[in-house]
Chains A and B, each alone.
Chain A
């Protein structure tokens, strides 16, 4: 299918992105990203996987326009990204980033307000987004009244309500228990099948990457570069039966084989502060 996917329109293009942390003092320099180039096709789910500190979150932030890399650039629909583009990109973070003083509904509405949606449109759009994650009955609840899984569903609803073409997800399920993660994964796969969103998804989980991704980009240990891109040729929506197939196990194992050496390398360098990722 590789030849076929190459003909699809490119939504995100990363061109030779390189980044070094540490500011003015060369002694504290840490090279985080090493000339990364990749393409994300329209309607594709691309997973970034790699050892801790390999710079996958950094790359996600470059794509999101949250900061400027030392060199290289990222483009969306051919346009260089220099700052956040709320009309095109929505973010979902690892832990719940809901405002604790606002209700579930208000949390979604505030995103629409930031994005510049007219006031009368905010509430109906927020309610529609809540319904897509099956939380319409919790509109008036406060975040601390919800479970971890429900909070992340609200975060997803907030990201979806923005109606962007691109969704950047930074380990959104990392703080959830395994069962919740699996259900979440199925829902996300279902969503991929119906809406053609372009998603870049950072994860630490091999199974999650294989289950969700159309392609998986495997990162090397720091400074992060792309070691290999693996294609998972299985149509969405993917169900629990996909997870029990031999093919799933083989894909997961070959992904692990790719990652093993890099994880060992990263472990050897553990004295380097791992605040980068």
Chain B
């Protein structure tokens, strides 16, 4: 048995153990089902939500917010990060500034965002975009600023045009660090959208989780949590697969 198989088995075993504990604890009546519902009930609620279509409205809204916020973060983070990285002066000025902003819990600005953009998806998109922007911009700056100078010298000696220099040297050299930023940005954008939905919103998966928690309808709440977990796993797998393909492995 090779190492990959072993670690996969341990990971699967861990998930199975958590589920098994969940089943055991709830079926013995040890815990009040209002605090922790039986997984069977949760699955039933999940089936119901899918069958009557009530899931789709919230799922679509969350995905819509996520796609727009993340796209905005990727585009603005990449462009601004690249622009900053082009001169040493602007890197010295803006890199610490962005790093300082990144260290602030941006969530403190969320009430302000709601004040400006309302309770609808707009405030989630702005807030999620802000969260995603900083790691992407910072890693883009680092990626371009740390390109091996000797490679650029070599390109110059072989007569590379500015475009060739960018396409063949700068961009591929910066990309691995940028991809780390894209992953971090993605996780933060997703987290902040679910989080802001659960703080102040009208719809979305995060909104629904809090809604059912307050109504003490925990099986429904758990059904939405399961959806978020599955969504996170799925999106993370996609991003990781893209990253792997980029490496040309």
Question: Which residues from chain A sit less than 8 Å from chain B, CB to CB?
Answer: 64, 66, 84-87, 89-91, 93, 95, 97, 99, 101-102, 110-111, 113-116, 162
Contacts and interface: CB of A to CB of B under 8 A. Distances in A.
Give the 9 A-B residue pairs with the shortest CB-CB distance, closest first.
A86-B159, A114-B158, A114-B160, A91-B157, A97-B154, A111-B158, A101-B172, A97-B150, A84-B157
Contacts of B164: 113-114
18 contacts: A64-B157, A84-B156, A85-B159, A87-B159, A90-B157, A91-B158, A97-B153, A99-B173, A101-B172, A101-B173, A101-B175, A113-B168, A114-B155, A114-B158, A114-B161, A114-B164, A114-B168, A162-B158
Contact of B159 (A66, A93, A99, A114): A114
B248 interface: yes
Q: Is the interface of B mostly helix, strand, loop or mixed?
A: helix
Contacts of B235: none
B33 to A, nearest CB: 54
Nearest to A96: B150
B159 A115 contact: yes
Given A93-B150, A113-B164, A99 B157 contact: no
B151 interface: yes
Q: Of residues B150, B154, B156, B157, which shows the largest number of chain A Cβ atoms within 10 Å of its Cβ?
A: B157
A276 to B, nearest CB: 15
Contacts of B150: 93, 95, 97
Contacts of A87: 159
Contacts of A116: 159
B157 A89 contact: yes
A91 B159 contact: no
A93 B157 CA distance: 11
A93 B154 contact: yes
Nearest to B172: A101
A74 to B, nearest CB: 15
Main SS of chain A's interface residues? loop
Contacts of A84: 156-159
B178 to A, nearest CB: 13
Given A89-B157, A114-B159, 10 more contacts: A66-B153, A66-B156, A84-B159, A86-B157, A91-B154, A93-B150, A97-B151, A97-B153, A113-B168, A115-B158
A140 B158 CA distance: 22
A101 B173 CA distance: 8
A95 B149 CA distance: 12
A102 B247 CA distance: 10
Nearest to B175: A101
Given A101-B248, A113-B168, A86 B158 contact: yes
A113 B154 CA distance: 13
Contacts of B148: 97
Nearest to B148: A97
Contacts of A93: 150, 153-154
Interface string B140-170: 0000000010110111111111001000110
Contacts of B248: 101
A20 B72 CA distance: 48
Contacts of B169: 99
A114 B175 CA distance: 21
Interface string B208-230: 00000000000000000000000
Nearest to A84: B157
A103 to B, nearest CB: 9
B168 A110 contact: yes
Contacts of B173: 99, 101
B159 to A, nearest CB: 3
A160 to B, nearest CB: 13
Contacts of B156: 66, 84
Nearest to A61: B153
A222 B218 CA distance: 79
A99 B151 contact: yes
A101 B159 CA distance: 20
A99 B160 contact: no
Interface string B77-120: 00000000000000000000000000000000000000000000
Most chain-A CB neighbours within 10 Å: which of B151, B156, B158?
A: B158
A102 B156 CA distance: 18
Contacts of A95: 150
A66 B149 CA distance: 13
A176 to B, nearest CB: 17
Of the candidates B150, B151, B156, B175, the one having the most CB atoms from chain A within 10 angstroms of its own CB is B156
Contacts of A86: 157-159
A102 B154 CA distance: 15
Nearest to B164: A114
A86 B165 CA distance: 14
A58 B197 CA distance: 60
